[in-house]
Amino acid sequence: MVNEAFQDDLDKIEPFLRRKKEIQQFPSVLLPLLSGAMSTELMKENLGFAYDNFYFEYIDGHVDMCYFTENNISVTNEIEKRKSNDKNFFNKTKKEQELIFENQWLLSLKKKNEYLKTKSEEKLFDWLSETVLLVKKAVGYGHMIEAFSMIQTHSLKDQLAKKIKNPLELSKILNILTLPEKNSFVTDYQLALKKAFKTKDDKKLKKELEKIMSKFYWIGNSYSGRAELTINSLLEQRDSIFEIKKINIKEIIQQKNDVIKKYKLNKEDIRLAQDLSFLTIWQDERKKMVLRSIDEQCMAIKFLSQKIGLDENLLTFLTPEEIAERKFLESEIEKILTERKKYAFVFYNPFSDKKYRTFTGDNFREKIAHILKEKDDINIDSIYGAPASSGKVIGRVQICKNMVEINNFVEGNVLVASMTRPEYLSAMKKSIAVVTDEGGVTCHAAIISRELGIPCVTGTKNATKILQNGDLVEVRANHGQVVILEKAEENKMKI
């Protein structure tokens, strides 16, 4: 039996599931991702355009979040219209969103302080509701980044291909043109640690590490939850910190200017490259706001768990709508959330009367798997993507979809993931190469791989589906190719 939904709900969403789509995969629970997706409502309200719908599928500690291609195209087209009337559209919109977020941050802190002073149940509920809005506004207008980057990276590549016939040179030039002209927060964090570890005096080192903990307390967080920084966790990174280097912004700008001059790029090519570079910086700053917000949301969930006697891990499978309606106080909620923690499929239509259609249970999981099933890939011996960081290596595949798999990554393996984010950094440092389903030359995997000096192929679309743990592969990142040299026997590689 399909729980939490009628058959007509499935009938209504099935046509959407068959549409062309882009999938992003997160090590995650449901609540923070659903909170962030609400940003499309903010976009619609204040900017007049938005994504129409998403779906989320939770399985074994990770969530597949679907963007429908037609939505990405419509959002990108609307952005281009705005930019044609105002070349500073991105910059103005980014600043406006940051102001909206900071105001919400102050409001959320106010609600938290009111609860901590009074221990009132009602104040706690108010605080939790504000943290949902906090994550929503942390993503905010920045949610347009996904659509624009997915569509316009391909557009820029197609334009450059008319002038640059060599695929390797094309990839190299695309990398240069879209490099961000600012350090990522991960790099700033690593550089701060590098500087601190040069301190010989133990007392001074502790003070420096405490400063880092205060400034970057949120950096270990993810959509899976909160991970508190400690002195010991920082000390454990001492031996793996020194390969990170500060980017040379002047050198990057000069490289871009040299490319523009050499290939006589037109204004449209230059404009697209500048936009994609800017959006990489915006995306990084957006992620920082999201991680700060998740810290607050997790704390509120923890207090709620203590107040009502429900496991805080279960409470992270609430929807924003259920929090607003205080559904967590109902007698059946523990049973419902327990089922979602096993498997959950959420279809989110923000502009309909019924925003969330939530499905659980093995029967429904089988139906969804049947609808989404792709062609048999058994005989494929190579997969292709975008060359994001050059190099060639041979190694065993290790797929990471959730925090347990990330934490158990074996040094010397090839990291394969849908996408990478800051929480993947520990595994990336141990890997000899990175391969992702999604992303382009400006994504997190590409940027960090270049900083680490390891090969990276992004945007393969199907690496996590075709490859399996233990496969022996050759990553030919210069050509955007991953060659399967030997398929792993079942259970051959114990992860």
pLDDT by residue (tens digit) across 262-305? Answer: 999 999 999 999 999 999 899 889 999 999 999 999 999 999 99
pLDDT band at 492 (very low <50, low <70, confident <90, very high): very low
Helix locations, 309-348, DSSP H: 312-315, 320-324, 333-342
Look at residue 272 and tell me if it is in a domain: no
Look at residue 270 and tell me if it is in a domain: no
382: enclosing H helix or E strand: strand 382-384
Q: Are 335 and 420 part of one and the same domain?
A: no
Q: Are 426 and 338 part of one and the same domain?
A: no
Which of 167-176, 312-321, 440-449, 458-467 tops mean pLDDT? Answer: 312-321
What is the structure's pLDDT at 374? 52
Number of domains in the chain: 3
Under DSSP, the state recorded for 365 is: H
Q: Which long-range contacts (CB under 8 A, 24 or more apart) does 74-81 make?
A: 74/49, 75/49, 75/50, 75/51, 75/144, 75/147, 75/148, 76/147, 76/148, 76/151, 76/152, 78/48, 78/49, 79/49, 79/144, 79/147, 79/148
Q: Are 219 and 317 part of one and the same domain?
A: no
Task: At 391, give phi and psi (nearest 5°).
Answer: 135, 170
* pLDDT tens column, 86-101: 999 999 999 999 999 9
Q: What is the dihedral of CA 437, 443, 448, 449, to 10 degrees?
A: 50
- Report which residue type is found at 357: R
Look at residue 155 and tell me if it is in a domain: no
Q: Are 356 and 393 part of one and the same domain?
A: no
What is the structure's pLDDT at 241? 64
Q: Is 420 in contact with 428 (CB distance < 8 Å)? A: yes
Residue 249 CB partners (closer than 8 Å, separation 6+) = 181, 182
Q: What is the DSSP string of 136-186?
A: HHHHGGGGHHHHHHHHHHHHHHHHHHTT---HHHHHHHHHHHH--SS--HH
In the structure encoding, which two tokens stand for residue 139, read together? 């993503």
**Crossing angle, helix 362-372 and helix 7-17, to 10 degrees?**
30
- Kindly list the strands in the beta sheet with 433-436, ordered across the sheet, starting from the edge strand earlier in the chain: 382-384, 481-486, 472-476, 392-399, 414-417, 433-436, 456-458, 386-389
Q: Which of 317, 339, 372 is the last residue of a domain?
A: 372
In the structure encoding, which two tokens stand for residue 172, read together? 């190299």
Task: Give me the domain span that covers residue 387.
Answer: 382-486
Q: Is 459 in contact with 438 (CB distance < 8 Å)? A: yes
What is the structure's pLDDT at 123? 94
Q: Determine the Cα–Cα distance for residues 258 and 150; give it in Å rounded to an integer.
A: 26
Q: Are 343 and 395 part of one and the same domain?
A: no
Q: Please tell me whether residue 207 adopts helix, strand or coil conformation.
A: helix
Percent of the chain with pLDDT over 90: 59
Q: What is the dihedral of CA 31, 57, 493, 417, to 10 degrees?
A: -80
Q: Are 234 and 289 part of one and the same domain?
A: no
Look at residue 353 and tell me if it is in a domain: yes
Q: Are 451 and 340 part of one and the same domain?
A: no
Look at residue 470 and tell me if it is in a domain: yes
Q: Determine the Cα–Cα distance for residues 161 and 146; give it in Å rounded to an integer.
A: 23
Task: At 20, give phi and psi (nearest 5°).
Answer: -65, 140
Q: Are 13 and 137 part of one and the same domain?
A: yes
Look at residue 1 and tell me if it is in a domain: no
Q: Are 351 and 387 part of one and the same domain?
A: no
Q: Are 353 and 399 part of one and the same domain?
A: no
Q: Would the pLDDT of 54 be above 80?
A: yes
Q: Which of 372, 392, 413 is the last residue of a domain?
A: 372
Q: Which of 321, 340, 372 is the last residue of a domain?
A: 372
Q: What is the pTM of this model?
A: 0.85
Q: Are 354 and 400 part of one and the same domain?
A: no
Q: Are 303 and 332 part of one and the same domain?
A: yes
In the structure encoding, which two tokens stand for residue 297, read together? 């949301």
Q: Determine the Cα–Cα distance for residues 21 and 150; give it in Å rounded to an integer.
A: 11
Q: Would the pLDDT of 242 be above 70?
A: no
What is the structure's pLDDT at 2? 43
Q: Would the pLDDT of 24 be above 90?
A: no
What is the structure's pLDDT at 1? 39
What is the structure's pLDDT at 439? 78
Look at residue 246 and tell me if it is in a domain: no
